[in-house]
Chain A
Amino acid sequence: MLTRRIIACLDVRDGRVVKGIQFVDIIDAGDPAELAHRHAHLGADEIVLLDITATHEGRATLLDTVRRTAKSLFVPFTVGGGIRTADDAAAVFDAGADKVSINSAALARPELIGEIGASFGAQAVIVAIDARRDPTSPNPARDAHVYVHGGRRDTGRSVVEWAIEAESRGAGEILLTSMDSDGMRNGFDCELTAAVSESVRIPVIASGGAGTVAHFAEVFGRGKADAALAASIFHFGVSSARALKEELAQQGIPVRLPC
């Protein structure tokens, strides 16, 4: 049976893993390569490394960090942040990434999705969407807007419509982050996740808000997520992916175990 994936996310700044609380308070949590291996060893199904400051500071993705992290990692490995061209993506793949995650560059020039896919396959292109509910709408989750620049600027675009366009342009997966929930540990935005997941046929990775096992169970159930991403819940020893999956399995959610 196809399992629901638990993805460990490493937000990286200046070559160190950090985790923001709604992208503001930053806490240093360690070496990316070391943490990636620890997560894989502790049962994470995938690793995502996001260079969180790359976009607005215009820094290139830290290829050296990617190379070191990828060296002996034998689960899927995604890298995002600062990838603006197909050449940027090629360099990240060359350093050992299996997938790239693109966000504002895809919004600015949606052709980028197809350009990377043409060389590396659609499965290698994740379109990341930072979303905030639209409180003025009668359906705030369904009408959520796409934000850019670390959640600071509203593009005015509909999240669901952008996800559909990304799929039609050849995205392999959608990484959907609820900016309202991110870092709060109060649970994923299940309504938003379900709205996107029901609108596309490619997998949707839910992100933002993980704090307890119940939150994961909810986003896989009500939220219809194919995968869920978490960062701080793992870094500070709250839980491991394995412990999390063992509890999810008891609730009847298919997960990769033993792992």
Chain B
Amino acid sequence: MRITVIDYKAGNLTSVVKALRHLGAEVTVTDRPEPLAAAERIILPGVGHFAATKRLDETGLTPAIREAIASGIPFLGICVGMQWLYAGSTEAPDQPGLGVLPETIERFPDGHEKVPHVGWNQLHPVGNSRLLAGIGDGEFAYFTHSWRAPVTAATVATTDYIQPFAAAVEKGNVYGTQFHPEKSGETGLTILRNFLEVTPC
């Protein structure tokens, strides 16, 4: 199982790479667009601010990712990496996302609950998902974020915090998780293993 992890200087890749290697994957980390042409599957991690995805545009990674996705190879965005799959985010209104999903990422509304949403919360899988195969209703994943995606037809798991949001999405060969599978114990490792095993479209 060979996998390419994109380094766009948005946080720490060590945990993701470590989890993938633990699962037996052969991991390549790249901050350049060229290696994506030969990639077999790609993960876009990311923590922090949506504006960090600007670097994907500046380094030519965005068109390379677009081509890779068009070629049908499995692509997984984690946290900000998932949010980037959308049209954009109110966190950085001038920075466009990839637009595979048409909605906009918005901040949790202010109110009684704390924002950011940090900690272990439950996944509620909906429909048939390859990414979440074997994941039961109510299993826990680790989240840390203040912006979130709306529940739509692409949503394959919801999580409740203030109101339901998209915890995981799937559209063709494109997958995303708002939570951190690399930090979500056995549940997270199962999801990463599923991603390593999905067959290209």
Q: Which residues of A contact B (CB under 8 A)?
A: 1-5, 40, 45, 70-72, 74-76, 93-98, 117, 119-124, 172-173, 201-203, 226-227, 256, 259
Contact for B12 among A75, A124, A201, A256, CB less than 8 A? A124
Q: Give the distance in Å from the alpha carbon of A201 to the alpha carbon of B109 in the complex.
A: 13
A120–B12 CB distance below 8 A: yes
Digit string of B4-30 for contact with A (CB within 8 Å is 1, else 0)?
Answer: 000001111011001100100000000
A98 to B118, CA, bound (A): 13
| Measured CA separation A203–B114 after assembly (Å) | 7
A172–B117 CA distance with the chains assembled, in angstroms: 10
Q: A76-B183, A96-B18, A123-B144 are in contact. Are A45 and B11 (CB under 8 A)?
A: no
Q: Which residues of B contact A98 (CB under 8 A)?
A: 12, 15, 183
Chain A residues with CB below 8 A from B160, complex form: 1
Tell me the complex Cα distance, A120–B49, Å.
Answer: 9
Q: When chains A and B are docked, how far (Å) is the Cα of A117 from the Cα of B10? A: 10
Question: CB-CB contacts of B118-161 with A at 8 A, as 1s and 0s?
Answer: 11111000000000000000001010110000000000000011
- Judged by DSSP, the binding face of B is mixed
Q: Does B48 contact A (CB under 8 A)?
A: yes
CB pair B116–A93 under 8 Å, yes or no, is no
Q: Flag if B48 contacts A3 (CB, 8 Å).
A: no
A174 to chain B, nearest CB (A): 11
Q: How far is the CB of B36 from chain A (nearest CB, A)?
A: 24
Q: Which 10 A-B pairs have the closest CB atoms?
A: A121-B48, A121-B47, A123-B144, A256-B120, A93-B12, A256-B140, A2-B121, A203-B118, A121-B11, A3-B120
B114 touching A70, Cβ below 8 Å: no
Counting residue pairs across A and B whose Cβ atoms lie within 8 Å, the total is: 96
Q: Is B185 an interface residue (CB 8 A)?
A: yes
Tell me whether B173 is interfacial, beta carbon within 8 Å.
no
* Cross-chain contact B119 with A227 (CB below 8 angstroms): yes
Partner of A226, one of B49, B114, B121, B189: B114
Measured between beta carbons, the chain A residues less than 8 angstroms from B145 are 123
| CB <8 Å contact, B48 and A120 | yes
Residues on B facing A (Cβ under 8 Å) = 9-12, 14-15, 18-19, 22, 47-49, 114-122, 140, 142, 144-145, 160-161, 182-186, 188-189
Between-chain CB contacts (< 8 Å), 11 pairs? A5-B119, A45-B119, A74-B183, A74-B188, A74-B189, A94-B14, A120-B48, A123-B116, A201-B115, A226-B118, A227-B119
Distance A6 CA – B116 CA, assembled complex (angstroms): 18
Nearest residue (CB) in B for A71 is B18
The answer to whether B183 and A172 have CB atoms under 8 Å apart is: no
Q: In the complex, are the beta carbons of B12 and A74 less than 8 A apart?
A: no
Which chain B residue has the least Cβ–Cβ distance from A94? Answer: B14
Chain B neighbourhood of A72, CB < 8 A: 18, 22
B121 surroundings in chain A (CB, below 8 A): 1-3
Q: Quick one: closest B residue to A122, CB to CB?
A: B48
B47 touches A124 (CB 8 A): yes
User: Quick one: which of A70, A121, A226 has the most chain B CB within 10 A?
Assistant: A121
- Asked if B119 contacts A259 (CB within 8 A), the reply is no
> A93-B14, A123-B47 known; A76 and B142 CB under 8 Å?
yes
